[in-house]
Amino acid sequence: MAGAGRARVVGLPCFNCHNPLSGDGSRGIRFSHAQHAERGTHCNECHGTWDHQPLPAGTAPHTLGIAGGCLRCHDGRQASADCRTCHAEMQRVKPTNHQRPSFARDHGRDVSAQATCRTCHEASWCQSCHGLELPHPAGFGSRHGQLAKETPKVCATCHEPAGCTQCHGLTLPHPPDFKATHGHSDQRLCGKCHAAGDCQACHRSRNPHPAGFRRAHGPAAEADPERCAVCHSSRTCQNCHGLAMPHPADFERRHGQPARRDRAVCARCHQQAECAGCHGLAMPHSAAFRRQHGAAAQRDPQVCGRCHTASSCRDCHGTTMPHPADYVDGHRGEASHSERSFCLNCHTKAWCALCHVAQDSVKAP
């Protein structure tokens, strides 16, 4: 076969059994071995020893042997990449699994097809249709989200939306209102796509909240309420705390009433020591304090003034409290030994006797 302008081909053991050089188009093939041999192509460049091994199910005869070699030259540049250049009857060479109507849609799930794709197709063939590297490279599962958001149609070439939901455990892509409601989702599902840093970048704090945060979140909420508002509304605070939060401007002055009504509400955030530290004495007042509070009031009336006004004392005692300096002189005519006397709210009749030696020296009612 050597001649002017032709390469010499040597070592052709195949010809001991085969002599298909005529290119007569049998078996639906328009192919001339002679033309390829004249170009200096050795049989082994197209045919491997696996030509004589059993073929996998669904594989057309000869394809394992020659297709890889064909594509080295038939790449669309050196020679035509159209299979019909040689194959006059495509059905004869087309694998049986390719012939089902749904193959274009579901071939990615066909294990036998994946095992033999490269027999006929280069990697670029997949990419030209799918728009990205296939099969997906290692690590793709952890970073595919960005691609799915940017080009969802690429994913839809193979995947149904239900496939995303089945894998992620929730609707994907996230629906429009998901940002406002995602805090109620199973946080373990978030970790399939998001790192802890993703949460912190948006929430500006560690999320999910660490253990103990509920007990200690108050200072953070006071320092930066807008950060809490990324997820929580004022109603969220009120539903949990049982009263308006953050406390309104005048709350310090009037907090005693809700504190007396339900001390458990205060205890959700405050320790007992905080009350004593601010009020200057044990709070709430003990059951016996009402009877004993006079000494504390005399000792430091400013402590009482943090919660109580002068009218508060008058309303309860029935007279000005503490007693004015001249009150001892005749008690302003208010004193009485009657069992209904407001003096008995604090004093016993024996107390009167300390000053009034004779019983008749005290004004009768």
Domain enclosing residue 337, as ranges: 309-365
pLDDT of residue 111: 62
pLDDT of residue 10: 53
In a domain, 314, yes or no: yes
- For 48-59, write each residue's pLDDT tens digit: 554 555 555 555
| Cα dihedral 75→76→80→81 (10° resolution) | 60
The residues, ordered by sequence, that sit 6+ positions from 157 with a Cβ below 8 Å of its Cβ are: 129, 130, 131
Looking at the chain, the whole-number percentage of residues with pLDDT higher than 70 is 81
Does the structure show a pLDDT above 50 at 180?
A: yes
Does the structure show a pLDDT above 70 at 63?
A: no
In a domain, 339, yes or no: yes
Does the structure show a pLDDT above 50 at 364?
A: no
- For 152-164, write each residue's pLDDT tens digit: 888 888 888 888 8
How many C-beta atoms surround the C-beta of residue 150 within 10 A? 8
CB 285 within 8 A of CB 293: yes
pLDDT of residue 265: 86
pLDDT of residue 53: 54
Sign of the dihedral through C-alpha 294, 296, 298, 304:
negative
Does the structure show a pLDDT above 80 at 79?
A: yes
In a domain, 26, yes or no: no
pLDDT of residue 357: 67
Does the structure show a pLDDT above 80 at 169?
A: yes
Mean pLDDT of the chain: 77
Predicted confidence band at 167 (pLDDT cuts at 50, 70, 90)?
confident
Does the structure show a pLDDT above 60 at 170?
A: yes
- For 261-310, write each residue's pLDDT tens digit: 888 888 888 888 888 888 888 888 888 888 888 888 888 888 888 888 87
Pairwise pLDDT comparison (154 vs 359), residue with the higher score: 154
In a domain, 38, yes or no: no
In a domain, 325, yes or no: yes
Does the structure show a pLDDT above 50 at 255?
A: yes
If you write DSSP's letter for every residue of 332-343 in order, what string do you get?
GG----STT-GG
Pairwise pLDDT comparison (2 vs 243), residue with the higher score: 243
- For 16-44, write each residue's pLDDT tens digit: 555 555 555 555 677 777 788 788 877 77
The number of CA neighbours under 13 Å toward the Cβ of 135 is 13
pLDDT of residue 315: 86
Three-class secondary structure of residue 355 per DSSP: coil
Does the structure show a pLDDT above 60 at 238?
A: yes
Sign of the dihedral through C-alpha 323, 328, 333, 338:
positive
Pairwise pLDDT comparison (212 vs 57), residue with the higher score: 212
| Cα dihedral 155→161→165→168 (10° resolution) | 10
Does the structure show a pLDDT above 60 at 331?
A: yes
pLDDT of residue 112: 61
Does the structure show a pLDDT above 80 at 330?
A: no
Does the structure show a pLDDT above 80 at 72?
A: no
Total domains, the chain: 1
Name the CA radius of gyration of the chain, rounded.
47
Pairwise pLDDT comparison (72 vs 166), residue with the higher score: 166
For residue 37, what are its two tokens?
Answer: 């041999």
In a domain, 234, yes or no: no
pLDDT of residue 7: 46
Does the structure show a pLDDT above 50 at 64?
A: no
Least confident piece of the model among 58-67, 197-206, 254-263: 58-67
Looking at the chain, the whole-number percentage of residues with pLDDT higher than 90 is 0
In a domain, 344, yes or no: yes
In a domain, 337, yes or no: yes
The residues, ordered by sequence, that sit 6+ positions from 32 with a Cβ below 8 Å of its Cβ are: 21, 22, 23
